[in-house]
Each structure stands twice: as structure tokens, then as C-alpha cells.
Structure 1
Amino acid sequence: MAKVVIIGVAGDEGLWVVDIDAGTVTPLPDPTDGNLKNVVDLRTVGASVIKGIDVAISVESAGDIAAGHME
């Protein structure tokens, strides 16, 4: 079973598709309708939408993770 996650980084309008099994990250075309369009609209007004994820931490670089800097 593939593990796929859609992510959006605060301050960046785009969404990304992360395929964990394939080790890929690709931009998601802007949705024009449906539930993903609703997510985009909610993000526009500052909402966070989380489903099926129990940890998400934003850092400046992979080096920050290795050094334990996750503020």
C-alpha cells in the first residue's frame, strides 16, 4: 500500500504530493473543485487542515533536523 501525503507549507500557496514509498515530492496542480479546493480555500484564510498525520514539524533545513533544532 502506497503512503501518500499532501502537504502545504505556511507562506507558500502551493500544495505538494509526497509519495513516501517512491521517495518523491511533486507539486500538486491547483485544484479547481472538490475537497482539495475546499482545503485551498481554508488555507487562504489561515486554517490548518490535518487528517491522518500525527507529527509535522517545519524546519529551515535537513541540517536542523540532524542537529535537533526543531523550534
Structure 2
Amino acid sequence: MAKVVVIGVAGEHGLWVADLDAGTVTPLPHAATGHLRTVVDLRGAGASVIKGVDVAIAVRSTASVASGHMEG
């Protein structure tokens, strides 16, 4: 199972790294070279890139998740 997830939120610049074991989310310093650079370029053109994640839902606050409101 993956223990680290790279996250980008639609409409926002930059990527984040979520370390599930450590329970942390930190900004990804400059994106990259190689395949991650390709992902950044595709994202800039409006594409979504998903690999190894089967659920991802953006909401406005943790209260929205806790109350079952998943409309974002």
C-alpha cells in the first residue's frame, strides 16, 4: 500500500505531499523533472492524473467531511 500521496487541488497552483505514516501534509518544493514534470505539465493543461488512488473528494472543510456533505 502507498504510504505517500502527491496531491494537487484543481484551480490551485502547486502540489502537496501527504505522508500517511507521519500524518503530515507539506508543500512539494519545485516540481520536478522526469515523470512528475510531465504530470505538472498535463495538470497545467487541465488534465487530471490519477494513479493508485481509488477515492479523492475535495471539500471546503473537515466539518463537511464529518457531517457527510461531500458536495465540495
TM-score range, shorter chain: over 0.9
TM-score by length of 1: 0.93
**Structure 2 letter corresponding to 1:9:** V
Q: SS of the counterpart of 1:48?
A: coil
**Structure 2 letter corresponding to 1:21:** D
Name the count of aligned residue pairs. Answer: 71
RMSD in angstroms over aligned alpha carbons?
Answer: 1.3
**Structure 2 letter corresponding to 1:14:** G
- Residues 7-31 of structure 1, C-alpha deviations (whole Å, 9 max, x = no match): 0000111100000010000100122
Hey, which of these two has a bigger chunk of strand by percent? Answer: 1
Name structure 2 gaps, 5 residues minimum. none
- 1:1-71 matches, cutoff 5 A: 3-71=3-71
Give the C-alpha shift of residue 2 in structure 1.
Answer: 6.5
**Structure 2 letter corresponding to 1:34:** G
Q: Alignment identity in percent?
A: 69
